[in-house]
Amino acid sequence: MPHILLVEDDSDIMRINRTFLENEGYTIHCADSVQTAAFKLEECVPDLVLLDVMLPDGDGMDFCKILRQKTQAPVIFLTARDENDSVVMGFRSGGDDYITKPYDLNVLKARIEAQLRRSVKQQPQHPRIELPYLIIDLFAGTATLDGNEYSLPQRELQIFYMLASQIGSRISYHDIYKTIYGCDVEDSKNTIRVNISRLKKHLNIDDMSTYEIAATSEGEYVLRRVMF
Amino acid sequence: MPHILLVEDDSDIMRINRTFLENEGYTIHCADSVQTAAFKLEECVPDLVLLDVMLPDGDGMDFCKILRQKTQAPVIFLTARDENDSVVMGFRSGGDDYITKPYDLNVLKARIEAQLRRSVKQQPQHPRIELPYLIIDLFAGTATLDGNEYSLPQRELQIFYMLASQIGSRISYHDIYKTIYGCDVEDSKNTIRVNISRLKKHLNIDDMSTYEIAATSEGEYVLRRVMF
DNA sequence: TCCTCCTATTACAATTTTGTAATATTGTAC
DNA sequence: GTACAATATTACAAAATTGTAATAGGAGGA
């Protein structure tokens, strides 16, 4: 049941739209001015905004910019004007669609549904590293190696992420420590060593794994793909 | 002290390059064939590869593709050919630069330094959400709100990240629980509620904060920007 | 006012995480 | 082989995390 904020100063149009959309199952919040709309934003949480461009106390497009700081809900402009520059300005100020009056209510419905569909589909794609046989997902806090998913503690995940993001290149103890802890201390070596040891154990890294974590003789670590 | 892997079948050129680059302070590893080079890759960890296109047992460009699975170190092709399609093929197979023989050693040096500079500069830009007065850094596990950085536990960070990535829209208990735990259970409500309570406390969210976490009457949470 | 229901916070205990220190292992030079 | 040094692993205790359960707070209705 999506919530729609209707901003429109013409009471007749407002009534028609409201009745129609409520019958469609939407929860409707109304505002007849920029001021009221800004206030309504504080209490209602719209999934979509229908915004008249011409309002008694301001420009709908200016309001659109304010609104964007509060929500990413799609905005559909409603207006009598149909000049091209008006359309361009509407899109430029952050609008997602533009309907010129007079319009058919079923067209309105279709466009609303299209916008809602789009914004729902926008899946939460998590930031991750993807390499052959290896995925590191910072959101989930997991690493998937050779098809097995392991949930790793933060420190181990951070190290693994650093190594994987620069696969095949040397990363020093100092770099790792500095990146993770923000500063460097005397025996950063030991801490990193222990955590890499834990990481290897957690990942069940052995001779059969696709990757190996190797140490150089100069105090650096490398993540390498193993080939047979 | 970067490590450079030199793949070249002409022993004279090899010797000259090696001596010159070692004098410049680089650690040099040599290979005179694709086979040897592939083997060397297992033990040395090059920061840069100088690769002859014509090798006795294969094409340097094919080797370049293999190499890319093991490292992202820059590859500079060395070749006698100077036809354009050869250059294009070199870049297409993953090369970063292309030098035609005969070449000046100082040019070689300059191009090597340029590549190393570029690959070092490639800062580890962490995945993060940036909103006005709010940054969420999944790698560091921190949220910076109104200039104060807070280190958050995983669960709270996950919830905050979800809310922030869809600022201003309703997210249900179920969505949050399902995204974080992979499945849904009977009393997901309580778990999420407690963690959001902890999150608010950790962030010191109060009336002065730029954002608020509000609950709707339908079992949903919203992150909203507060305006004055 | 009192009751009820729903939400928010706090308490608590089991588990996990993590830096440090101790021990074991490996490699290398003599 | 032995000794030495460097690396790798394990042990351990303090601290943090986290789900569940208990308690507190608050709005709305009788």
Q: Tell if the CB–CB gap between B132 and A224 is shorter than 8 Å.
A: no
CB-closest option in B45, B127, B132 to A216: B45
Q: Which residue is nearest to nucleotide D19 (CA to C1')?
A: B191
- pLDDT tens, A170-190? 999 999 999 999 887 777 889
How many Å apart are CA B136 and CA B138, to the nearest integer?
6
Q: Which amino acid is residue A9, in one-letter code? A: D
- pLDDT tens, A3-17? 999 999 889 999 999
Q: Tell if the CB–CB gap between A169 and B71 is shorter than 8 Å.
A: yes
> CA A164, A176, B119: angle at the middle one, nearest 5?
60
pLDDT of res. B197: 96
Residues of B in contact with A222 (CB under 8 A): 45
Burial of B207 (0-12, 13-18, 19+ CB in 10 A): exposed
Tell me the nt nearest to A191, Cα to C1'. C19
Q: What separation in angstroms does the CA of A129 have from each of A82, A192, A222, B58, B170?
A: 46, 21, 16, 32, 29
pLDDT of res. A124: 64
CB-closest option in A45, A138, A168 to B72: A168
Q: Straight-line distance from CA A69 to C1' C24, in Å? A: 58
Q: Report how far Cα A30 is from the mean position of its chain's Cα atoms.
A: 28
Burial of B212 (0-12, 13-18, 19+ CB in 10 A): middle
Structure tokens at B19: 């001596």
pLDDT of res. B44: 83
Nearest Cα to A71, choosing from B136, B127, B226, B137? B226
The answer, yes or no, to whether residue B103 has pLDDT greater than 90, is no
Residues of B in contact with A139 (CB under 8 A): 138, 158, 161
- pLDDT tens, A137-166? 999 999 999 999 999 999 999 999 999 998
User: Is residue B223 within 8 Å of B163, Cβ to Cβ?
Assistant: yes
Structure tokens at B191: 């778990």
* Structural domains for chain A: 3-121 (3.40.50.2300), 128-225 (1.10.10.10)
Q: How many helices (H) and strands (E) does chain B have?
A: 8, 14
Q: Classify residue B36 by its DSSP letter.
A: H
CA distance B44 to chain A (A): 9
Task: Categorize the per-residue pLDDT at B89 as very low, low, confident or very high, splitting at 50, 70 and 90.
Answer: low
- pLDDT tens, A50-91? 988 888 888 777 787 788 888 888 888 887 766 555 656 656
How many Å apart are CA B109 and CA B125, to the nearest integer?
28
Task: Categorize the per-residue pLDDT at B84 as very low, low, confident or very high, splitting at 50, 70 and 90.
Answer: low
B169 vs B65 pLDDT, higher one = B169
Q: Produce one character per residue of A72-108: b if its CB has 16 or more CB atoms within 10 Å, e if not.
A: bbbbbbbbebeeeebbebbeebbbbbbbeeeeeeeeb
pLDDT of res. A41: 82
**Residues of chain A whose C-beta is under 8 A from some C-beta in B?**
3, 38, 42, 45, 47, 66, 69-73, 119, 124, 127, 132, 138-141, 154, 158, 161-162, 165-170, 179, 214, 216, 220, 222, 224-225, 227
- pLDDT tens, B187-221? 789 999 999 999 999 999 988 899 999 998 888 99
User: Is residue A211 within 8 Å of A205, Cβ to Cβ?
Assistant: yes
Which residues, at least 6 apart from A66, have a Cβ–Cβ distance to it below 8 Å?
A38, B227
CB-closest option in A127, A168, A227 to B45: A168
B124: left (phi over 0), alpha (psi -120 to 50) or beta: beta
Range of weakest confidence among A28-42, A69-83, A113-127, A191-205: A113-127
Q: Is the CB of A194 under 7 A from strand C?
A: yes
- The arithmetic mean of pLDDT across residues A193-207, rounded, is 94
- pLDDT tens, A95-125? 788 888 778 888 899 999 888 887 765 666 7
pLDDT of res. A145: 95
- pLDDT tens, B117-169? 877 656 667 888 999 899 999 999 999 999 999 999 999 999 999 999 989 88
